[in-house]
Amino acid sequence: MNGSVIISSTIEGVTRFRPPIGPRDPGLMRALLRLAMDVGDDIPLTLIDTDSALWMHELDPGLVLVLDRDHFEYIYRASELAELHGKHYHKIRSHIKRFRKKYRHTVEPITPGNREELISFLEKWCELKKCENGSFLAHEIEATAYAIEHLSELPLQGLLVRVDSQVGAISLFEHLNADTAVVHFEKGLPEYEGIYKVINAKTAEFLAGEAKYINRESDLGVEGLREAKMRYHPDHMVEVYSLKR
């Protein structure tokens, strides 16, 4: 609309919107706010970046915009994740070392040629995580599978860790801009102790020569996930806001 893209999502009957992506258009923003207020819940507009939040306040100082910590994005220095130097990475290095001693493994790029093998891996991961009991995990796996099936159409790259002959972990990522890569999906089979730390390090090693930063997205407020992301000591966070009614 008017040269902008407007994204909405309806999840379990609740519709929410994101700010327009495109040239700043006060009329379009006001129209979107009216629509969001009409059909949305108590948080009709989400994932508002800082610049957009400031602009929205200029348009209407009465808007209630609050920081949304659950959707802050974690930004790391690629070289730090690749090298894991220093005392604060000691436990992570130890887990990787134990993994290397315990398992015979290889690392290889994800290609359209191993698509079927990767889909089987996702099905096994989902079975172990009991995706059928939680819609969130089921939707996440659906998105991961879609990305793999459309790997060449989407500008995605990926790595897999193979333990013996089986796929034990995968990561899918792309370049967000000139100095930042974003890791969209990272999955590992829990039967291989330390495999998440290995795929994390291997992905960082692959990207360190091409990107200064790695965006590892948000924790969605999941306590264990937040702890895991903080354990890698982010360089900084990308803050986002939500609009409250």
For the stretch 63-110, pLDDT in tens is 999 999 999 999 999 999 999 999 999 999 999 999 999 999 999 999
Residue whose structure tokens are 């960082």:
204
45-49 and 240-244 beta bridge pairing? antiparallel
Q: What percentage of the chain has pLDDT greater than the value 70? A: 99
Name the pTM for this structure: 0.91
How much is the average pLDDT of 223-243?
Answer: 95
Question: Does the pLDDT at position 133 exceed 80?
Answer: no
| Alpha carbons 189 and 196: distance in angstroms, whole number | 8
Phi-psi region of 13 (alpha: psi -120 to 50; beta: other; left: phi over 0): left
For residue 139, the model assigns a pLDDT of 86
By the 8 A CB rule, do 105 and 161 touch?
A: yes
| Alpha carbons 112 and 90: distance in angstroms, whole number | 36
For residue 32, the model assigns a pLDDT of 96
Mean pLDDT of the chain: 94
Question: Does the pLDDT at position 146 exceed 70?
Answer: yes
Q: What percentage of the chain has pLDDT greater than the value 90? A: 89
For the stretch 28-63, pLDDT in tens is 999 999 999 999 899 999 999 999 999 999 999 999
Name the residue type at position 2: N
Question: Does the pLDDT at position 134 exceed 70?
Answer: no
| Nearest to 114, CA basis, from 52, 55, 166 | 166
Ordered strands of the 213-215 beta sheet: 105-109, 157-163, 166-175, 180-188, 213-215, 73-77, 236-238
| Nearest to 215, CA basis, from 181, 239, 185, 191 | 181
Query: Which domains, from first to last, does the chain contain?
Result: 8-71 (no CATH), 73-217 (3.40.630.30)
Question: Does the pLDDT at position 213 exceed 80?
Answer: yes
pLDDT tier for residue 12 given thresholds of 50, 70 and 90: confident
